[in-house]
Amino acid sequence: MKPLIRKPCVVANWKMQGSFEKIETFLKQLAHNMVDVNQLEIIFCPPSVYIDSVKKLILKNKALHPLKLGIQNTYCEQTGAFTGEISPLMAKEIGCDYGLVGHSERRTLFHEDDTLVARKVLAAYHANLVPILCVGETAKERDEGKTFEVLSRQLEVVFQQLSFEWLQTIIIAYEPVWAIGTGVPLASESVEAVNVYLRDYLARYDEKLKHLVRILYGGSVKGDNAKSFFAMGNVDGALVGNASLQVETFLTICRDAVSIMNQ
Ligand code: PGA
């Protein structure tokens, strides 16, 4: 049983996929089959260009009102000559409550380093956007036994600049890089071991954080394996990529989250 303060959470990250038509269909079906939102927070991260329209669709349909919106990436400044970037303030203005920061695709494909990720987290907080901070090791780092070392490095740069007030609301998504989009997740027992490590790491900043901060798992979470992660005491939900594109699969994951994490 999870402490009630850590409400289970499932995030749908559509990445650069889908279309407005697909999103409309997805939301319609989600509305018809909505899970118990008192027991689960659902955060939808569509491609940024659709967020404003998605917000309007949510407002039009009461069943969707509890659905939260997240942005997949924001910049580390709030305004200025930064062609192509979106500021956290802008994301907040169009209806986002959450923002992914430091997703491994951003770190790898767009060369975002720990320092930039830390600046983005800080900018998100200044705009009242709650960061979902993604951390995780590569296959090579895992093989070399460096998983904890890598996670500590990724977290330290971010954590050292945040007050307790901010830190207590952060969501951490532990996503081993090699498990993302490959269909091969990390075994649930190993995920649990990492999340226990992350909680102990949080306790170094403040003992209370260990109990307050939600830590999700991401990396090939699917309809037939989500349960195994949710059954672990230190996993508070999932960050779902591919499997969130199919509404039925996504709903299966959400239902499993409700039934298992609220037992
Ligand atoms: P995946 O993606 O579920 O397709 O592995 C997860 C993620 O990138 O957050």
Per-residue pLDDT of the chain (263 residues; tens, 9 = 90+): 455 589 999 999 999 999 999 999 999 999 999 998 889 999 999 999 999 999 999 999 999 999 999 999 999 999 999 999 999 999 999 999 999 999 999 999 999 999 999 999 999 999 999 999 999 999 999 999 999 999 999 999 999 999 999 999 999 999 999 999 999 999 999 999 999 999 999 999 999 999 999 999 999 999 999 999 999 999 999 999 999 999 999 999 999 999 998 77
**In 3-state terms, the chain is what percent helix, strand and coil (to 5)?**
45, 15, 40
Q: Is the CB–ligand 1 distance for residue 244 below 6 Å?
A: no
pLDDT at 17: 98
Select from 12, 20, 13 the least CA-distant residue to 106.
Answer: 13
Q: Is the CB–ligand 1 distance for residue 241 below 6 Å?
A: yes
Q: Which helix (H) or strand (E) holds 68?
A: strand 68-71
Q: Which helix (H) or strand (E) holds 25?
A: helix 20-32
Ligand 1 center from residue 101 Cα (angstroms): 14
65 in active site = no
pLDDT at 263: 72
Distances (CA, A) of 248 to 25, 28, 189, 226: 12, 12, 26, 14
Burial (0-12, 13-18, 19+ Cβ within 10 Å), 30: buried
* Predicted structure pTM score: 0.96
Q: Which domains does the chain have, with CATH numbers?
A: 9-261 (3.20.20.70)
Select from 196, 195, 131 the least CA-distant residue to 162.
Answer: 131
Report the distance separating Cα 110 and Cα 130, nearest Å: 22
Handedness of CA 22, 250, 132, 7 (dihedral sign): positive
Distances (CA, A) of 214 to 27, 32, 133, 170: 25, 28, 11, 7
Q: Is the CB–ligand 1 distance for residue 242 below 6 Å?
A: yes
103 in active site = yes
pLDDT at 181: 95
Ligand 1 center from residue 181 Cα (angstroms): 5
Ligand 1 center from residue 131 Cα (angstroms): 17
